[in-house]
Structure 1
Amino acid sequence: MESLSQSTVFAWLSTEGSMSFTAGEQSYFRHNETEYPKGFSRYRILFSELETLNATQLQIINEAVDRWLESLNCKLSLALIKRDCGLNCIEVCTPEPLSAEQIAAISETAFLELFELTFDAPQLSQVGLLVMDMDSTAIEIECIDELAAMAGVGPAVAEVTELAMQGELDFEQSLRARVAKLKGADAEIIDTLCAKLPLMPGLKEMVAELQSHGWRTVVASGGFTPFVNHLKQLLALDAAFANKLDIDNGKLLGTVSGQVVDAQYKADTVLNCAKQWQIAVGQRVAIGDGANDIPMINTADFGIAYHAKPKLVQAADVSINRLNLKVLPYLFQRT
């Protein structure tokens, strides 16, 4: 944290010095993550890796955090929260919950996000389960749109998508109608897309951190099996579920077979995987970005919206809006 030495609070936290510190009229105390002051409310400020920030951005973060902490005008206990994901995190414990206005004051600062850590947040150091959506959550694209573009039927698929967004088609109807547009396309487009599948920033680090603590990691997608299986192999995931595209003689048939992986299937995946691996209540986590993920989010003990649509944000326990997937392990506690 030496690069943050312009910030008096950061400079104090980053040393092995005293357990208390005073700046102006504000007093601070230091705690370890596993020994936070009981009864206090817990908040975590996260911001990107130092090497990704320029001097101006660092100064903005430094000054904003110092100014915000001083404005709280109460006894504060702080801690540096360490994970192997690469982000920087400061835990701020306050005697009383912060007001919406106080939270908004720091949340408006660029390059960082503030999260409240609830008393029943999952335990990172205990075995847990993470079920992830794929398109626009684990990867940066929507696979059906990319396949359609590669097959030369992008506008036709977009028309079906618009009907679904207007509520004229349910998920299964929309899926089958869009896949039908791919009929006759060369199946090689699947391998081509797999080879360049753009992972969501922070995905590898997030999964590796959870796996290092014995967590089970699963992807459940309304997309297609070649892509989830690619992710499963690449990231050593425990399971992957998606829809099966029918292929014959190297051509897409324009159909899917087997049970459709819809919103309810994804929700059931949380329960089925938790039962299979005997995951304790409180340790079942799901993350997604769209309305189709709401049942899965509601079924999990802890639901996370990732750069999500408004309806999912409302349903989730927490929403990651600015930073990437590296945030997720910092939302869990260690005791």
Structure 2
Amino acid sequence: MSLPAVLTLIADRESGPLKPEAIDMARALVKGNAPIVLSPGEAVDIPCPPPRPGSANITTIRATLAPYRVDALLLKTRGRRRAILVADMDSTIVTGETLDELADLLGCGEEVAAITRASMNGELDFETALEQRVALLAGKPASVLEQVWESVTLTEGARELVQTMRKHNGRTALVSGGFTWFTQRVAELCGFDENYGNELEIADGRITGHLAGPILGPDAKRDHLERLTAERGVQLRAALTTGDGANDIPMLASAGLGLAFHAKPNVRRIISTQINFASLRAHLFAQGYHARDFVTD
């Protein structure tokens, strides 16, 4: 009979393989069974009893393993594979912040980056921050969007995550507080079923400094999550969400598995399921996938 919980360990591959001593420490903390290898040297599952009063919690486990640059997720065994994926774009599916990179090329990078930091850390509400940043772009040539796109880099594991979930009948959506100009292209590159963002208004080849249509912010991200689960006929616990900033918190908190991915400090204080070292491949290991099951082409 399988145990009702599992501790999944995932190593940051750039820092080296998952060390046996890290696995042994984790197993002792949760009084777990023998590890099940999901990817040699990268990820294991440790079946274990559910947490009880006085037993090691995820904060303790994470702190113990931090020197090894190992992520730890303590999850229920039942229902691990999710039917829905809703992902943030900037600093999650792609490595950078497209609005900040756009501003850099247009000569207002420092001002925009400062507003971005305040927003992502929860110091400034998302809608106000976005309006202020877009206003700084007024009159700038829209042709620079192509230059930014040339430098956009997918985060390691982005295509594997999306394509693997789609292969196993998952519905995938890219939902971003960034611009649809980029979400459409990133979604096509990764294979997302749907994509949503904010529409940057462009007239006569120049950015007007305004948005066309309503702002897609934190509540709208959660709304898309709820819509997708309703359309699929599943409950929120069947969904996986991932993101790094304050505007992702509502959807991270609402999903059955919300993963704070290399997230800002204020996000990590609220969301206990975290990926702080590993790549997006960790999202598949968290669902019990073996590396051999990943779609890699």
TM-score range, shorter chain: 0.7 to 0.9
- Asked if residue 45 in structure 1 is aligned to residue 3 in structure 2, the reply is no
| 1:293-333 deviation digits (Å, cap 9, x = unpaired) | 11111222221111112332233351001111100011124
The residue that corresponds to 1:110 in the other structure is 68
Specify which of 157, 170, 182 is matched with residue 125 of structure 2.
170
Is contact 1:137–1:306 with CA below 8 Å preserved after alignment?
A: yes
Q: Secondary structure at the match of 2:234?
A: coil
| 1:130-151 deviation digits (Å, cap 9, x = unpaired) | 1111111111111111111111
Higher relative CO (Cα under 8 Å, sequence separation at least 6) belongs to 2
Is contact 2:241–2:258 with CA below 8 Å preserved after alignment?
A: yes
Q: Secondary structure at the match of 2:162?
A: helix
Cα distance in 1 between the residues matched to 2:263 and 2:171 = 23
- Asked if residue 78 in structure 1 is aligned to residue 53 in structure 2, the reply is no
The residue that corresponds to 1:92 in the other structure is 46
Q: CA deviation at 1:93?
A: 2.4
Cα distance in 2 between the residues matched to 1:96 and 1:209 = 28
Cα distance in 1 between the residues matched to 2:110 and 2:27 = 54
| 1:81-115 deviation digits (Å, cap 9, x = unpaired) | 36xxx873222223564524972575134243222
The residue that corresponds to 2:292 in the other structure is none
Q: CA deviation at 1:232?
A: 1.4
Cα distance in 2 between the residues matched to 1:299 and 1:123 = 17
Q: CA deviation at 1:185?
A: 1.1
The residue that corresponds to 1:304 in the other structure is 259
- Asked if residue 227 in structure 1 is aligned to residue 191 in structure 2, the reply is no
User: How many residues matched?
Assistant: 285
- Asked if residue 279 in structure 1 is aligned to residue 243 in structure 2, the reply is no
Report the AA paired with residue 273 of structure 1: L
The residue that corresponds to 1:33 in the other structure is none
Q: Secondary structure at the match of 2:152?
A: coil
* Higher alpha-carbon deviation: 146-155 or 98-107: 98-107
Report the AA paired with residue 91 of structure 1: D
Cα distance in 2 between the residues matched to 1:321 and 1:311 = 14
The residue that corresponds to 2:84 in the other structure is 129
Cα distance in 2 between the residues matched to 1:116 and 1:276 = 29
- Asked if residue 328 in structure 1 is aligned to residue 292 in structure 2, the reply is no
CA change 1:75–1:274 in 2 (3 A) is closer
CA change 1:292–1:105 in 2 (3 A) is closer
Q: CA deviation at 1:170?
A: 2.5
Report the AA paired with residue 103 of structure 1: I
The list of structure 1 runs, each at least 4 consecutive aligned residues, that deviate by more than 6 angstroms after superposition, is: 165-168
Cα distance in 2 between the residues matched to 1:109 and 1:255 = 46
The residue that corresponds to 1:250 in the other structure is 205
Q: CA deviation at 1:239?
A: 0.8
The residue that corresponds to 1:8 in the other structure is none
Query: Percent sequence identity over matched residues?
Result: 29
Q: CA deviation at 1:163?
A: 6.1
- Asked if residue 209 in structure 1 is aligned to residue 148 in structure 2, the reply is no
Q: What is the TM-score when the length of structure 2 is the normalising length?
A: 0.84
* Unpaired runs of at least 5, structure 1: 1-36
Q: CA deviation at 1:45?
A: 2.1
Cα distance in 2 between the residues matched to 1:272 and 1:312 = 24
Cα distance in 1 between the residues matched to 2:99 and 2:137 = 9
Cα distance in 2 between the residues matched to 1:327 and 1:91 = 12
Is contact 2:175–2:195 with CA below 8 Å preserved after alignment?
A: yes
CA change 1:159–1:47 in 2 (3 A) is closer
CA change 1:71–1:254 in 2 (3 A) is closer
Q: Secondary structure at the match of 1:76?
A: coil
Q: Secondary structure at the match of 1:313?
A: helix
Q: What is the TM-score when the length of structure 1 is the normalising length?
A: 0.75
Q: CA deviation at 1:280?
A: 4.1
| 1:1-54 deviation digits (Å, cap 9, x = unpaired) | xxxxxxxxxxxxxxxxxxxxxxxxxxxxxxxxxxxx4345421222255xx56x
CA change 1:316–1:153 in 2 (3 A) is same
* Higher alpha-carbon deviation: 316-325 or 220-229: 316-325
The structure whose Rg is larger is 1
